A = this chain, B = another copy of it.
Amino acid sequence: MITVKEIAKMCDVSPSTVSNILNGRPNVSEATRKRVLEVVKETGYQPNIFASSMRKQITRTIGIIAEDLGQFSTTPMLEAAMACCEEHNYRTIIMNLRMYDKWADTWYHDERKLQSMLVPVLNELESVKVGGVIYIAGHGRVIHCLPEDFALPTIVAYALSENERYPSVVLDDEKGGYDMMKYLISRGHRRIGIIAGVMDNLHTQERLAGCQRALFEESIPYNPECTYYGDWERKSGFLGAKKLYAQDVTAIWCMNDLMAGGAYDYAREKGIGIGRELSILGYDNRQVSEYLYPGLTTNELPLKSIGFQSAEMLIDILEGRRDIADTKPVKVPCKLIVRDSVGLLC
């Protein structure tokens, strides 16, 4: 393996000079710089990262932890975060906890499981001297898993951190719920059913709050009977639609596209015309939403934006342009995607 020493010898200079040149320090004559760079290129010399990091004690690296890369929401955030880091000339190191892969969905209520995976990863990131961490949650919720004594600046993406030391960038679910309702109302709907997510889920609660604000604004009473709590899965959308349709709703808003798919199943089974007799509205803008028939009107998650903003925020902190203390949770709005599943009611 070729080293600075050898480069130095080949150029008849000292190792320090080579190092100075390689690190772009100014106190070097143009002639030697040229000579050395030449040789470096010729030999294909690669600095030894370990040696240099050990000596410098810093690495211009950002650690990105994904709770589960397999989640549909994760990769867009990840790629956007990486793009941002790249722009600012930080390298990234990706750690994948594979929580779903290992524990299906029994982990996010069980801090122990999460801790057991997370702590070693945090240690590893500390020991490779990353400057900061972006934690990409695989499941939206309030998060407590980051230890109080973790020293590195850390941004939580997609989940809400309650710890002030860890700012978060999350969906604006309240606005999302509000927008969905407003849209349905603008299309003439008044009796609206809701297929919500799991009841104690953060998305569920926030979206419901927004939805109630919209109803209140329009002086439409909120009828709890018209909210069915599903489990985010297709089947529960079917069951919810069944129950709500019996209550004469003209539209159903499903808190994700998969449950909307279940509502489609029900409508199809009963021969109910989607977008005519019954309007259906989704959430997430998953790929399935454009393949459902008729195309599902839904709300696009700003995943790339969340990822990008998380990285931006972290870099701002690392470079002293922003203080971690006065960083409130950032809420990023979704975007309505209109297709054909919501009819105009006269």
Contacts and interface: CB of A to CB of B under 8 A. Distances in A.
Interface of A: 46-51, 53-54, 69-70, 75-76, 78-79, 82-83, 91, 93-94, 96, 98, 101, 123-124, 126-129, 234, 261, 264, 268, 286-288, 291-293
A53 to B, nearest CB: 5
Contacts of A93: 93-94
5 smallest CB-CB distances across A and B, nearest first, come from A50-B54, A94-B94, A288-B291, A50-B50, A50-B53
A311 to B, nearest CB: 14
A239 to B, nearest CB: 17
B79 A101 contact: yes
B70 A98 contact: no
A82 B70 contact: no
Contacts of A83: 98, 101
A70 B51 CA distance: 33
Nearest to A294: B268
B49 A128 contact: yes
Given A49-B124, A50-B51, A288-B291, 9 more contacts: A49-B127, A50-B53, A54-B54, A69-B69, A78-B96, A82-B96, A94-B96, A234-B291, A264-B291
A273 to B, nearest CB: 14
Contacts of A47: 127
Contact of A79 (B79, B98, B288, B293): B98
Nearest to A268: B293
A124 B287 CA distance: 35
Nearest to A128: B49
A261 B127 contact: no
Contacts of A268: 293
A174 B223 CA distance: 57
Contacts of A286: 287
Given A127-B49, A287-B288, A291-B288, A96 B70 contact: no
Contacts of A50: 49-51, 53-54, 128-129
A340 to B, nearest CB: 12
9 contacts: A46-B127, A49-B127, A51-B54, A69-B79, A79-B96, A83-B98, A91-B124, A234-B291, A268-B293
Contacts of A76: 70
A80 B50 CA distance: 29
Contacts of A70: 75-76, 79
A299 to B, nearest CB: 18
A79 B129 CA distance: 25
Nearest to A74: B75
A73 to B, nearest CB: 12
